[in-house]
Amino acid sequence: MTIVLQAALLFTPLERVERPLVCIEDGIISSIGSADAMEIPRHAQVVDLDETILAPGFIDMHIHGGAGHDVMEPDPQALPTVERFLYKHGVTTYFPTTVTAPLDQTLAALDRLANAIERDAGHSHQQARPIGIHLEGPFISHLRPGVHPPADLLRPTLATFDRFWEAARGHIKVMTIAPELEGARDVIREANRRGVCVSMGHSDADLLQAQEGVAAGIRHATHTFNAMRPLEHRDPGIIGEVLTDDRLSAEIIADGIHVDPVVVRVFLRTKGTDAAVLVTDATAATGMPNGRYRLGSLEVEVKDGKCMRDGRLAGSILTMDQAVRNIVRFADWDLQQAVRLATINPARASRLPAKTGTLAPGAAADIVALNRRGDVLRTIVRGHIS
């Protein structure tokens, strides 16, 4: 059966369509056009979404958990619980993200996450879908580890990377690495060859080391400004490379805590609407009251809107819909521009298939319905109307 969605406005997100009609067949968008120029197919099921704005479902390429659960947990209910929570906030696709842990725990978590990705047919239509794994650590700097446990950090080697790759059965799609580490460039080259989005982060790299990492195959930056050598006017370091190299896309945690709103504006002016990527770096504490929660093998505490461990920020409690609204507020951008940072930009950065993160014929019908403020009114996964 053909399903037709009607709404007030649609962001593809590169273009705007007034009074759109979106035709969906078997979970795939078959056509999109204005009601002024298209006819509704006979016998179609018409769903009138009134004065809503339709946009691609959000993509979070850096998230550790939510709703009280961490993505590395062995509890079989952990991921479904996280995914139902993400769905409520407009996320249809996500990259479960590891945090540095003892090697055996990381390998076991990668195996479980690979199972979840491969179990695609078993996913409910009312939850986000994992599409690839983000390996954050252990190939990061002892000088900029954040809350990653120093005892479990490892020197990057091809042998260790292969162990991760085999445990994940090739589902590692994003990998954070500090480019200045001995052996890093060999791992960067090989991961890039295998189609991984190699991202520099948790790094004390100077400008030359960052540029050498890019030359080896780095194409992205992990939570820019956080756990990085600071930008100095005579020593631009890794941030100087991230902000000025047009080959790099870059993440930002736009919660107003990890990065001051003024610096978010600086970031957006340098990376622009094509290369800036919103991520949440959300932990199990997201959506939960103050208290203690897990981040991988670590315990973190949430109080006054901050997720902390030993006096350091430890991920966030940000949701993607709030991140989009924050961009509108921090930078005075319009909603269509902000939506790009949560849809097509992460899809392109992480090398997802063409049309992912867009609303276009042939794309999966992963859609979020928003009001004019950017609040989520409804989430649609693969055309399933709930």
Nearest to 341 by CA among 250, 259, 260: 250
- Within 8 A by CB and 6+ apart from 99, the residues are 64, 72, 136, 137, 147, 148, 295, 296, 297, 298
Per the residue annotation, which of 60, 281, 321, 366 is the catalytic one? 281
Radius of gyration of the chain (CA): 20
Is 321 annotated in the active site?
no
Maximum pairwise Cα distance, the chain? 67
Burial of 199 from C-beta contacts in 10 A (0-12 / 13-18 / 19+)? buried
> Could you tell me the CA-to-CA distances from 164 to 60, 104, 194, 219 in Å, in that order?
21, 10, 13, 20
Q: For residue 261, count other CB atoms closer than 10 A to its CB.
A: 15
252 closest CA partner among 350, 342, 140: 342
Active-site residues: which are they?
A: 281
